[in-house]
Amino acid sequence: MKFCFVFICQKGELELKSMLLATSLRENIRGDYELVAAVPEPKSKWGEISAVTKKMIKQLDIRIENIRNEVDINYPIGNKVSCFKVKTNADKIIFLDSDIICMKPFLPKEHFNEQFCAKPVDKHWFNEWKHVYELFEIPYPKERFETTIDKKKILPYFNAGLIVVDNNIKFSEEWIKCCKIIDEAKNITDKRPWLDQIALPIVVKKKQLKCKILDNKYNYPIHELVPIKSEIPFFCHYHYRYKIFQEKNVFKYMEYLIKKYPLLKKYAKILPEWRGLFYPYPIIKSKIFIKKILVITYFKIKNILENIYFMFYYNKNKKQLKNAIITGIPRSGTSYLCKLLHSRKNTVVINEPEYIRTIVSRNKKLWRLKSMYNILRKKINSGKVVNNKIKNGKIIEDTAKTDTRTYSIHKVENRDFCLITKNTLAYLFALPQIINEYPEMPIIACIRNPLDTIASWKKNFQHLRYVRFENFPVNINHKNNFSEKQIQEITQIKNENDFEIKRALLWNFLAQIIYENKEKIVVLKYENFVTNTNYEIKKIQEKYPQFEFKLDFYNSEIRSDISVLHKEEREKIIDICKKTAEKFGYNYY
What global pTM score does this model have? Answer: 0.67
Mean predicted lDDT score pLDDT of the chain:
88
61-75, 222-236, 423-437, 558-572: least confident range:
222-236
Phi, psi of 228 (to 5 degrees): -80, 115
Q: Structural domain boundaries of the chain?
A: 2-121+157-168+211-275, 283-313, 321-583
Average pLDDT on 364-388 reads 85
Top-confidence residue, 358 or 536: 536
Phi, psi of 17 (to 5 degrees): -60, -40
335, 430, 532 from 434: Cα distances, Å: 21, 6, 29
Indicate if the pLDDT at residue 283 is higher than 50.
no
- Among 72-76, 471-475, 481-485, top mean pLDDT goes to 72-76
pLDDT number for residue 315: 56
Asked whether 82 and 54 are in contact (CB, 8 A), the reply is no
Q: What is the DSSP-derived secondary structure letter of residue 397?
A: S
Average pLDDT on 225-236 reads 84
Indicate if the pLDDT at residue 326 is higher than 60.
yes
Average pLDDT on 72-80 reads 93
Average pLDDT on 494-507 reads 92
Distance CA 163, CA 161 (A): 7
Confidence of residue 49 (pLDDT cuts 50, 70, 90): very high
43-47, 174-178, 403-407: least confident range:
403-407
Average pLDDT on 382-397 reads 83
Confidence of residue 325 (pLDDT cuts 50, 70, 90): very high
β-strands 92-96, 63-68: how paired?
unpaired
Q: Going edge to edge, which strands form the sheet with 100-102?
A: 100-102, 235-237, 220-221
Indicate if the pLDDT at residue 157 is higher than 80.
yes
Distance CA 22, CA 90 (A): 18
Q: Going edge to edge, which strands form the sheet with 522-525?
A: 347-351, 418-422, 323-328, 443-447, 522-525
Burial of 54 (0-12, 13-18, 19+ CB in 10 A): middle
Give the number of C-alpha atoms closer than 13 A to the C-alpha of residue 457, restricted to the C-beta side: 23
pLDDT number for residue 284: 43
Indicate if the pLDDT at residue 445 is higher than 70.
yes
CATH number for the segment(s) 2-121+157-168+211-275: 3.90.550.10
152-156, 218-222, 397-401: least confident range:
397-401
**E strand or H helix that includes residue 451:** helix 450-460
Indicate if the pLDDT at residue 73 is higher than 70.
yes
Partners of 220 in the beta sheet? Answer: 236
71-80, 141-150, 395-404, 429-438: least confident range:
395-404
Average pLDDT on 555-566 reads 87
Distance CA 79, CA 28 (A): 26
pLDDT number for residue 16: 95
Indicate if the pLDDT at residue 292 is higher than 70.
no
Which residue intervals of 212-317 are DSSP H helices?
241-246, 248-260, 267-270, 275-278, 287-312
pLDDT number for residue 413: 86
pLDDT number for residue 228: 81
Indicate if the pLDDT at residue 478 is higher than 70.
no
Confidence of residue 10 (pLDDT cuts 50, 70, 90): very high
What is the rounded end-to-end Cα distance, in angstroms, of the chain? 64
Confidence of residue 223 (pLDDT cuts 50, 70, 90): confident
Distance CA 37, CA 399 (A): 39
pLDDT number for residue 446: 97
Indicate if the pLDDT at residue 540 is higher than 50.
yes
pLDDT number for residue 93: 98
pLDDT tens digits, 85-123: 999 999 999 999 999 999 999 999 999 999 999 999 998
Distance CA 118, CA 168 (A): 18
Average pLDDT on 419-438 reads 92
17, 53, 250, 265, 278 from 256: Cα distances, Å: 15, 19, 10, 12, 11
Indicate if the pLDDT at residue 14 is higher than 90.
yes
**E strand or H helix that includes residue 92:** strand 92-96
Distance CA 399, CA 386 (A): 18
Asked whether 236 and 103 are in contact (CB, 8 A), the reply is yes
Confidence of residue 307 (pLDDT cuts 50, 70, 90): low
Confidence of residue 219 (pLDDT cuts 50, 70, 90): very high
Q: What is the DSSP-derived secondary structure letter of residue 271?
A: -
Average pLDDT on 263-287 reads 77
Please give the share of the chain, as a percent, with pLDDT higher than 70. 91
221-225, 291-295, 361-365: least confident range:
361-365
264-268, 459-463, 550-554, 583-587: least confident range:
459-463
CATH number for the segment(s) 321-583: 3.40.50
CA-based torsion, 9, 171, 214, 113: positive or negative: negative
pLDDT number for residue 285: 46
pLDDT number for residue 363: 58
Distance CA 487, CA 470 (A): 15
88, 351, 501 from 555: Cα distances, Å: 63, 22, 34
User: Closest Cα to residue 329, out of 428, 476, 430, 452?
Assistant: 428
Integer-rounded Cα Rg, in Å, for the chain is: 28
